[in-house]
Structure 1
């Protein structure tokens, strides 16, 4: 945990905010499509599984957090390793509640649109409880949209390692892209192939990293200027904002950006995964593998769950 991946130093520089790299944020009239999913059934307490609490209940307009929570719970419980609860009201959470769990998964964003000035945060006591829980040894999984808030909250940025910051961070246009597993020796990623794909997903780039966070990058994705071609992008990327000259001036263009990493916070282990936009992306085994093994590692420091078939390494010669 204390050693840093050799590529982290230059990558960390890409994560810093910079002037002149703003992405135009368009607010279309949109709601996530309604889905029907199987509800996870209770687990026999005699199985002594890892206890997980998903904290949710508020998110941006593009994220179906209720559907994702349901699929996360089903996926984790079906693995045979986890017993999962979901709360959509953590406003007055406390440390005693959190300590009943081995790991907390954050699927939460405080804003309806991530650059809104108004936000819904938990009470100061609940926020302190979360920080104390991890600092004292609790596990944390920071999941996807949980990086789209906290840019005005330094301690949260320190907790999860890095956040999206309006005006300097970008969401790259491709909805499907390869993910490069840059460290395949870590317990979470050992046995995965070097490149996996994600679908119907968000590539977060130019994230703002907390300088005190000791981040160990496990996976990256490449933000390519060619992806901003108006023929490929759609209305969220107005052509006038992404001319060749403007693209050339944008920091971190044609560069690799962290998507999955680990960090420590006090005595706690933190697994951060920016991937997993919705229930569609979670149907693919590479993301399932990362999520399940990352949660197990955050809770216990070890990984026993297998790499799922579609994520496995295989000979290329």
Structure 2
């Protein structure tokens, strides 16, 4: 019997295998960056949507500078937006705001949202924001901006709702599904019914302004089972969340608005309570909401595509 060398046998077997024995799928992917980029200037000839992020004061648990930079990166990378950031709006004016198509608020007037002391802008700056939106400017209210305004009725009307110490709460889950309840709106069209967020805050039982013309796009469910001490952790002491106390809490075991739109004068308002930090902003669902919501607030139309991981898909 003639012996065949091992190497020759291996080569012969490899040639005999069908071409589809190993399928290597190449997908469009780039590793996440470990540092946040500094945005470079945009060519004015591109005529992008001009965005102003107002920030500079926030509650202690929010990395607002990192979030601002990531928001700017996300927006400018679409090729649709040109983004500027100000951390000093104490003496802002209407003329400054009118040079932008949309204003994004990533601002809280308190170091802790239960604090009595707050850092408010000047009366001129506050009125400038209201007048800007009333006259047709776009506004995005983002995450911690809802922890301001407990004693500011017009601000509540402007953004639609605020967190109220003593009655509003943060539900324990740091990761939860977000239910897109209206997928016919230009912002959410083409999105999955449920998207996820992580390392985020579920604002529940907010004080909704009765005069604001709100249209809810997405909700999240506040379940009493989540307050079990074994699940909730040390921030939710068992004595404060007994079954009897949970039953007495308004809005328990119910769905709560997390994303909505509203009209204010001639302006469009997009409110999004989600987006605690740069970690949550890595999730495609939140990226889709903030990018498309910002474009809608600025123009009334949406051209930014839904990211692949946030797209609707057949379930039958």
Following superposition, the deviation at residue 310 of structure 1 comes to: 0.5
CA distance in 2, matches of 1:136, 1:235: 47
CA distance in 1, matches of 2:153, 2:235: 29
CA distance in 1, matches of 2:255, 2:148: 22
Unmatched runs of 5 consecutive residues or more in structure 2: 1-33
Deviations 1:203-232 (A, max 9, x none): 000000111101000000000000001011
CA distance in 2, matches of 1:158, 1:176: 29
CA distance in 2, matches of 1:36, 1:123: 35
Q: TM-score, normalised by structure 1?
A: 0.89
Deviations 1:260-308 (A, max 9, x none): 0000000000000000000000011110000000000000000011111
Secondary structure of the residue aligned to 2:133 is helix
Name the residue aligned to 1:257: 256
CA distance in 2, matches of 1:152, 1:258: 21
Name the residue aligned to 2:97: 98
Secondary structure of the residue aligned to 2:219 is strand
CA distance in 1, matches of 2:156, 2:52: 20
Following superposition, the deviation at residue 36 of structure 1 comes to: 3.8
Name the residue aligned to 1:42: 41
User: C-alpha root-mean-square deviation of aligned residues, in Å?
Assistant: 0.7
Name the residue aligned to 2:160: 161
Unmatched runs of 5 consecutive residues or more in structure 1: 1-34
CA distance in 2, matches of 1:39, 1:235: 37
Larger relative contact order (CA 8 Å, sep ≥ 6): 1
User: What aligned pairs does 1:21-100 form with structure 2 within 5 A after superposition?
Assistant: 36-100=35-99
Name the residue aligned to 1:248: 247
Q: TM-score, normalised by structure 2?
A: 0.89
Name the residue aligned to 1:112: 111
Following superposition, the deviation at residue 235 of structure 1 comes to: 1.9
Indicate whether 1:222 and 2:221 are aligned: yes
Following superposition, the deviation at residue 243 of structure 1 comes to: 0.5
CA distance in 1, matches of 2:211, 2:247: 30
Secondary structure of the residue aligned to 1:299 is helix
User: What aligned pairs does 1:134-173 form with structure 2 within 5 A after superposition?
Assistant: 134-173=133-172
CA distance in 2, matches of 1:36, 1:244: 45
User: What aligned pairs does 1:126-137 form with structure 2 within 5 A after superposition?
Assistant: 126-137=125-136
| Ranges of 4+ aligned residues in structure 1 off by more than 2 Å | none
Q: How many residues align?
A: 283
Q: Which has the higher Rg, Structure 1 or Structure 2?
A: 2
Secondary structure of the residue aligned to 2:213 is coil
